[in-house]
Amino acid sequence: MSMTEPGTKPGTEPRTARSIPDQPGFCDACAQRTRDLHRAAERSGILRAVFAGRADRLGYASLLRNLLAVYQTLEAALDRASGHPVLGLLPRAGIDRTPAIAADLEVLCGPDWRALALLPAGAGYARHIATLGRGDPERLLAHAYVRYLGDLNGGQILARRLEVSLGPRASALSFHRFPASADPADLRACYRAALDRAGAELADPAAVIEEAAAAFAWNIALSDAVAAALPPADPAPPAPAAGP
């Protein structure tokens, strides 16, 4: 008696879970979609200077000031969505960055950090996240992927570059530290697994993966805007005239 599944032609293998190629998880799918954008972000505006170890106090503080608005909006939206079947799967303890960014701004600029400009690119990025939170909250998963998983990965490289370029103000790196976890690699793995679990529950994964690309575009625009808003660097002093 044939052991093929109903509707399967004799002599062919039934399609079992083992014989169907694995689909990439949410994080891998986002990484594939945004690979080129990720490289572009690292080469953009103020981030290029940070990665090169050339970011000064004002440039980095301006970036943080604008990211503060983004994280405040994202974290408020995730708070409101704590019971959401997708977003509620994301851990929050030790992940939120708003208090750390505010602390770093105090170290960099003192209370005067509030006078730093919230640029249109930063305000627009925050507004976009707020709009998603009200109307399409599942897309916030893409912003959690780009921001928090980025902080747990490349953010650690940025911290090492900033330790050099900030000099005496290198203590202003709370943004890149996660003291709630004794093992940053373990926290990164746990958060990635949570993103993949949440991604498996999405009603429209393709739309959320596209939102990850949009999130990178917002980050590139912000990085370029911060660099463009900085005052020009002081020109190098003229070389001394050659002797007779």
Statement: residue 92 has pLDDT above 60: yes
Q: How many residues does the chain have?
A: 244
Mean pLDDT of 110-131: 96
Computed over every residue of the chain, the mean pLDDT equals 86
Higher pLDDT, 1 or 82: 82
Give me the phi and psi of 103, to 5 degrees please.
Answer: -65, -40
Q: What is the pLDDT of residue 157?
A: 82
Res. 179 pLDDT band, cuts 50 70 90: confident
Q: What is the pLDDT of residue 154?
A: 77
DSSP string across the chain: ---PPTTPPTTS----TTTSPPPP-HHHHHHHHHHHHHHHHHTSHHHHHHHTT---HHHHHHHHHHHHHHHHHHHHHHHHTTT-TTGGGS--TTT--HHHHHHHHHHHHGGGGGGS---HHHHHHHHHHHHHHHH-GGGHHHHHIIIIIHHHTHHHHHHHHHHHHSGGGTT--GGG--TT-S-HHHHHHHHHHHHHHHHTT-S-HHHHHHHHHHHHHHHHHHHHHHHHHSPPPPPPPPPPPPP-
What are the tens digits of pLDDT across the range 11-49?
444 333 333 346 789 999 999 999 999 999 999 999 999
For the chain, report the end-to-end CA distance as a whole number of angstroms.
106
Mean pLDDT of 51-73: 94
Res. 182 pLDDT band, cuts 50 70 90: confident
Q: What is the pLDDT of residue 190?
A: 94
Alpha-carbon distance values, 15 to 5, 10, 226 (Å): 9, 13, 53
Mean pLDDT of 102-114: 94
Q: Which residues touch 65 (CB under 8 Å, ≥6 apart)?
A: 105, 113, 116, 117, 118, 122
Higher pLDDT, 77 or 17: 77
Report the distance separating Cα 121 and Cα 152, nearest Å: 24
Statement: residue 236 has pLDDT above 70: no
Q: Poorest-confidence range of 48-52, 84-88, 95-99, 217-221? A: 48-52
Q: Poorest-confidence range of 47-56, 123-132, 153-162? A: 153-162
Statement: residue 146 has pLDDT above 50: yes
Q: Poorest-confidence range of 55-59, 118-122, 136-140, 191-195? A: 55-59
Statement: residue 204 has pLDDT above 90: yes
Statement: residue 145 has pLDDT above 80: yes
CATH T-level assignment (fold) for domain 26-228: Heme Oxygenase; Chain A (1.20.910)
pTM given for the model:
0.84
Res. 233 pLDDT band, cuts 50 70 90: low
What are the tens digits of pLDDT across the range 153-173?
877 788 888 887 887 676 788
Per the CB < 8 A criterion, the answer to whether 59 and 226 are in contact is yes
